[in-house]
Structure 1
């Protein structure tokens, strides 16, 4: 998959940089010089005519199959009540919306602010199996037929959450394989937004699934493919270490061990020090859910480290983050904490001192600001606290958690910088990130000689754009290892 040598002539770097030429060769940036100073030396010349050049973007947290399959689910993102969701389902069934193996799936409802509780009975008006997935992926609301089809036994709410639900969702969709063309289309769409790589956190054996996809032509992205605890032994038995290529092109590499230690804010299962409103701190889930004991987390991290596999731990609530920090500190390990949505004030500095990376999703702050104001009242000064993490010296990576938010780093960058979206004022603007930090947290390598030729070309300078223009940044080309994966020049 060696790309021909290219000379990109007449580009500009961000924030007022002078015109320059960039030569790409052998999958690397071969030379950079003021415009007109580089010879083509047999390379194909591409005139950029003053467009802007920078490193390609990464989305540091995706669930790619869930992102791809989203188009086959009824869109519930705009629903504002249980009755509203039922009406959307009724309309979908009336209009013949396609099912997946006999089940009508919906996605994107967020019931944290609904004035009425969800019930199984409300969906039992439909004879067809119906399963509606929460926008955070951590729970689903279903009717009796849907529960029976999936082999689940929800209570009167019709809701199944956390480990039982996540495992069921993965098993069901593993049996209903998607066409490889759907993956190819989704990867091409990401490349059209400047994306050169993603960190894949689907709860399957990602290294094998992505190796098969690349062999079938899904080759416009690099993929760091994580492993979950139930497949850790498989990865260890193969001798795979974090960063190892797992297929011939080198596009797919062994990622990290992904461990989930708590739930989510929208499902009210994020593990916190203080109880959720109306719940007793001593009740079973008054402060959220601890998905696994700390001792089990410790054992998993030790086993992974012994085999050269690094760790990425999902922690959303402040108590979950504290316990994960404690574990990393006890083991003397570095790693990534995914989400870090609510962090105790004393833990920001500890985050940095331990050398941990915070992988965060700025669009979640925009989606969840009202839910946070309700369920984390009095604590939102340290919720989605990207500014505090950066000020403490914590290395950041930005992602989408697609399909929870769109697989588009420009959305994350714009929300991280502005803390606002649409016609709403900035939410806790003190937690905004500088643009250079947000851009850096969305890339892996600088545009420099010797770096991978993973390059993005835009029609505008991000430093010259307002919030909405930045969100919709026009990308005219994306190159992966010097090969065009998107070209609109």
Structure 2
């Protein structure tokens, strides 16, 4: 770990009651921790020194919800985010196959929840022939495959999309179709370098993967730039427990910066697929096999998993998007004493927010999702939209917020998430349910892994910004634009620069 003296940095207050010092300060990072902060510090012999030149200094940012392999692969996939109909998709697939006839087509990003009809395998077969085609929805919860791809991935042939648990299991086999060059250590390193350029020092990785062994291999091959917390899933839980890994423990072979994270449980589905489990039916329930969505696990199954993780020293991250799923997850945390988070908490009941605070369960939120889900939410959840992305309720009730992207569902960009939390609109329209907005200070505080303003004892994970991140400019739209375009001058992990454009 580098010993580093940074001079003339403006500290940014984050916690309630904190005030910014009235002048730039020096700080000394030693053995990965800020050891001193003051108006003038002498540089010990052999210590690296750099000049912040009056820039603003914040704690390093964390993305608390990333599917890292999928995000790393996203740049190589057919971008279907702009598709507005099944015909748009099949046209794009046909064009890709005409350009690259000998290559499988992996697409990402279409959002069929707003389309006026369901898609079929047959229409994809017409434009693809024998070329395997796998089109992953923008929420990651279903995929539209052609017959060739279904057969290659050993799934029953059908004329409909593959959803939820069946798709999650099939995704793990996708490398048999396309290889794994896109998730090489070199590709991971490029992804981590890009994250560092935005001020990210750490990532909670929710990828379906080979676990600690794969991370050790990546680490040895150079994908060691940032801090990583690796999640596990139910199918590998016993392996993790048998290996003696507990939340916070260092992963073997990763030098202490990659650690064991939580058990991830996907308790319900998503808005786009109408599989998020709700207390009331969807507006278009007549189209659905399950009018209110459905849980992926029974209450008893959920409690068994939480109890097993808790007794084994693991936190739990429970994916729950619908209000019924959130309520059931909280009941399970209460029954088992497990600790951790609700991932997404997209639609919540007012009383459940209070219960989340009482139980000390974090809300792991992805504000950029509201930009994509606004219109569909209004269409199929109607008046319940006022209870969606309820960040103000959560913060006011004392729920700890931990922000992330859910990349590749949204971009791995903390400033996009912060801007969305502040302005709650991504276009010319007025903010959506602005009463649930956060201030820039609150949104930034939810993005730094619980760290207060930099002070002695703070982690040596730091970010220098060319602009004051707490600057507000007239209205929330202008403030959001300042946040989305925030220039990052330097990012430090344990006192070592991992990005520096000064």
- State the Cα distance separating 1:74 from its structure 2 match: 0.3
Say if 2:310 is the partner of 1:305.
yes
Say if 2:61 is the partner of 1:57.
yes
Say if 2:273 is the partner of 1:267.
yes
Distance 1:280 1:81 in 2: 21
Counterpart position of 2:475: none
Counterpart position of 1:144: 147
Of the three residues 247, 261, 264, the one matched with 1:258 is 264
- State the Cα distance separating 1:280 from its structure 2 match: 5.4
Which secondary structure does the structure 2 equivalent of 1:21 belong to? strand
> What is the TM-score normalised by the length of structure 1?
0.95
Counterpart position of 1:67: 71
Distance 2:81 2:447 in 1: 26
| Mapping of residues 295-444 of structure 1, within 5 Å | 295-444=300-449
Which secondary structure does the structure 1 equivalent of 2:97 belong to? helix
Conserved in 1, the CA contact under 8 Å of 2:310 and 2:339? Answer: no
Distance 1:302 1:473 in 2: 42
Conserved in 2, the CA contact under 8 Å of 1:98 and 1:104? Answer: no
Say if 2:465 is the partner of 1:452.
no
- State the Cα distance separating 1:348 from its structure 2 match: 1.3
Which secondary structure does the structure 1 equivalent of 2:192 belong to? helix
Which secondary structure does the structure 1 equivalent of 2:54 belong to? coil
Counterpart position of 2:169: 167
Counterpart position of 2:8: 10
Which secondary structure does the structure 1 equivalent of 2:6 belong to? strand
Distance 1:317 1:421 in 2: 23
- State the Cα distance separating 1:174 from its structure 2 match: 7.2
| Mapping of residues 26-41 of structure 1, within 5 Å | 26-34=31-39, 37-41=40-44
Counterpart position of 1:472: 485
Distance 1:280 1:351 in 2: 33
Distance 1:154 1:418 in 2: 45
Counterpart position of 1:119: 120
Which secondary structure does the structure 2 equivalent of 1:239 belong to? coil
Which secondary structure does the structure 1 equivalent of 2:5 belong to? strand
Distance 1:384 1:55 in 2: 25
Which secondary structure does the structure 2 equivalent of 1:460 belong to? coil
Distance 1:244 1:47 in 2: 35
Of the three residues 209, 213, 216, the one matched with 1:208 is 213
Distance 1:223 1:208 in 2: 14
Unaligned runs of 5+ in 1: none
Counterpart position of 2:500: 487
Distance 2:251 2:389 in 1: 34
- State the Cα distance separating 1:309 from its structure 2 match: 1.0
The 1:275–1:459 alpha-carbon spacing in structure 2 relative to 1, beyond 3 Å, is same
Conserved in 2, the CA contact under 8 Å of 1:200 and 1:206? Answer: no
- Structure 1 residues 141-177: Cα deviation after superposition (integer angstroms, max 9, x where no partner): 11111211212225323x0000000111123237832
Conserved in 1, the CA contact under 8 Å of 2:151 and 2:157? Answer: no
Distance 1:237 1:487 in 2: 41
Which secondary structure does the structure 1 equivalent of 2:155 belong to? coil
Deviates further, 418-427 or 365-374: 418-427
Unaligned runs of 5+ in 2: 14-19, 473-478
Which secondary structure does the structure 1 equivalent of 2:368 belong to? helix
The 1:174–1:254 alpha-carbon spacing in structure 2 relative to 1, beyond 3 Å, is farther
Counterpart position of 2:95: 91
Distance 1:363 1:145 in 2: 35
Say if 2:185 is the partner of 1:180.
yes
Distance 1:209 1:97 in 2: 32
Distance 1:185 1:75 in 2: 20
Distance 2:101 2:53 in 1: 46
Distance 1:264 1:206 in 2: 25
Deviates further, 310-319 or 329-338: 329-338
Counterpart position of 1:106: 107
Deviates further, 265-274 or 240-249: 240-249
Conserved in 1, the CA contact under 8 Å of 2:340 and 2:362? Answer: yes
Which secondary structure does the structure 2 equivalent of 1:186 belong to? helix
Which secondary structure does the structure 2 equivalent of 1:451 belong to? coil
Conserved in 2, the CA contact under 8 Å of 1:204 and 1:228? Answer: no
Say if 2:134 is the partner of 1:134.
no
Distance 1:420 1:218 in 2: 35
Counterpart position of 2:16: none
Deviates further, 461-470 or 250-259: 461-470
- Structure 1 residues 308-342: Cα deviation after superposition (integer angstroms, max 9, x where no partner): 11111110111111111111112233321100001
Please provide the CA RMSD for this pair.
Answer: 1.6
* Number of equivalenced pairs: 480
Distance 1:388 1:352 in 2: 10
Which secondary structure does the structure 2 equivalent of 1:378 belong to? helix
Deviates further, 372-381 or 208-217: 208-217
- State the Cα distance separating 1:461 from its structure 2 match: 0.5
